[in-house]
Amino acid sequence: MRTQVGIIGAGPAGLLLSHLLHLRGISSVVLERRSREYVEQRVRAGVLEQGTVDTLVEAGVGRRLLREGLPHSGIELRYGGAGHRIPFEKLVPGRAITVYGQQEVVKDLIAARLADGGDVRFEVDDVAVHSLEEAPYITFGGERLDCDVIAGCDGFHGVSRPSVPEGVLTAYEREYPFAWLGVLARVAPSAEELIYAQTERGFALHSMRSPEVSRFYLQVPAGEELEAWPDERIWAELKTRLETVPGFTLATGEIFEKGITPLRSFVTEPMQYGRLFLAGDAAHIVPPTGAKGLNLAVADVRVLTEALDRFYADGSTALLDGYSAACLKRVWRAQHFSWWMTTLLHTFDSDDAYARRLQASHLDYVTSSEAAATTLAENYVGLPYE
């Protein structure tokens, strides 16, 4: 079996790449070890940058996003007993975010690929990549897929990155001394926009997925067990951390999903080797505070699509050769923003009185300086594509 581009991973990166290549007349096969049901139900990110929304709409897979997504023109930073709104409409006119779950993006992309006759294979096993420098191919389940290029879109724990010979890639990483406990609840959001709350007890985030479903996060110690957090404790802690401004009451409801996610920062350089190109979480991880994971994957895929389009149009490898450098500029900007948001809003056990007072001063600066607030806003909604 042969195709032009072999894609490992049917998450947002792999599926969007396959769809964008199809629009350019480039064939691909997508291989995914999980079931279709699993990837369509897997809850991940929910905040889409302006550029991500534009990309999906322009690619013809944004109809449901425009109909059901929740556009937001600001966020609130809540600390010290007061809420401070960061107004995107004033600071970055014409740019906003849209709340729309990653699993919904995946559903839309799968539907589009199947409607177009795309080759997306679920529940494949024993995936391995070979001959990356000359004539790459992928083996899986006793089959062989020959291709010109392999796109590794299979996440942090996938097979793509480990297939690169030892010593070629350099990893930059940091693990944070806390995790996020995330829950989905059947209750209408208690606020119209996202609330990022900084408290002495730790960080909390009020978000949403629809007018009927809310999403919440709590900072918890690294290594915390989910069993330690029954629903009653979760609601009590959310109320303690969010009900810190006059007149705000947190509505509660049935929690139907919860999980704990460790926070880490990770970048591998370069993001390519031979005819293998890494995209999304296979190449980089950011703490979710900056809402950049899914959006970085989309940015990677845009760059790779243009490079492959040039390659198949005239045989030029210039853009493919420059793929990593082109992506990493944006990746490191997002790394810095995500690290900055994380340190700005979380409580560290190692903090002394000086560090806590410094953090409060930093929050005051961000919410009182238009220049600082603009920097936050322009990074949060996403830097324009070059």
Point out the residues that are catalytic.
72, 196, 288, 292, 380
Residue 43 corresponds to which tokens in the numbers above? 């809850």
Instruction: Give the residue among 249, 7, 225, 239 at the shortest CA–CA distance from 113.
Output: 7
Residue with token string 């769809």: 19
Cα dihedral sign, 90-292-102-75: negative
The span from the CA of 266 to the CA of 305, in Å, is: 23
The span from the CA of 107 to the CA of 114, in Å, is: 11
Cβ pair 89, 374 in contact under 8 A: no
The span from the CA of 351 to the CA of 355, in Å, is: 5
29 burial (CB, 10 Å; 0-12 / 13-18 / 19+) is: buried
Residue with token string 């023109």: 73
Residue 361 corresponds to which tokens in the numbers above? 């001063």
The span from the CA of 60 to the CA of 180, in Å, is: 34
Q: Report which secondary-structure segment, H or E, holds 376.
A: helix 370-381
339 burial (CB, 10 Å; 0-12 / 13-18 / 19+) is: middle
